[in-house]
Amino acid sequence: MTTLSININKVATLRNARGGNLPNLLEVAKDLERFGAQGITIHPRPDQRHIRYEDAKNLPQVVTTEFNIEGNPSSKFIDLVLDIKPTQVTLVPDADEDITSNAGWDTLEHQDFLKKIINQLKGHGIRTSIFVDPKITMVEGAHAIGADRIELYTGAYASGYYQDRDVAIKPYVMAAEKAMNLGIGVNAGHDLNLDNLAFFAQNIPALLEVSIGHALICESLYLGFENIIPMYLQRLSI
């Protein structure tokens, strides 16, 4: 079964836009789980423009499902996650000024650096995931550094879905099959939505988790979390 982890960065963005504590991030996380979310994801950035470090430290008090923290492994980020010890840490190679994560790691070029970080996290009992593009060599590199899972960057799939979804999905199937053969778990995320999720989940072998934030939050403005989350779960169960 594929787990639905909801990225709540956009909830924090809305709160920060006005100041104060509305919406209350902790209450939203609790409600998302109550409505069916099977995990909560955050991606704190150095400028704290959405998720704040204080949020990251407070969320374990209320999250009862899996807690996933994404981020570029700076020393400050590593200190944060070692203090919190979430279920999973997903390492992402985004620059501080990036609006969103838009590319995966080169797991060959950064092999020594990533291996050191992975060993450090695993030594504290934290499951590790590496954000990668759907390339066989990058999956092999993730295996070489000892990552527990990969997270396939699905931006290219989402962009190509409406032109030719069979073509768009092909490199992801190949990458997932390679990961499965190597004994690495497969997660996925970025630009997945109600339109393209079911086809992706149907075709990716042993898909363990999808992390979805922006689209789900946007759709919930119209339909509400309580209605949207079951719709996503339904797409994952087809």
Catalytic residue numbers? 43, 70, 190
Measured between alpha carbons, how far is 89 from 155 in angstroms, rounded to an integer? 20
Q: 40 with 67: CB under 8 angstroms?
A: yes
Measured between alpha carbons, how far is 182 from 175 in angstroms, rounded to an integer? 11
SS3 216: helix
DSSP bridge pairs for 129: 90, 149
Q: 70 with 92: CB under 8 angstroms?
A: yes
Q: 99 with 60: CB under 8 angstroms?
A: no
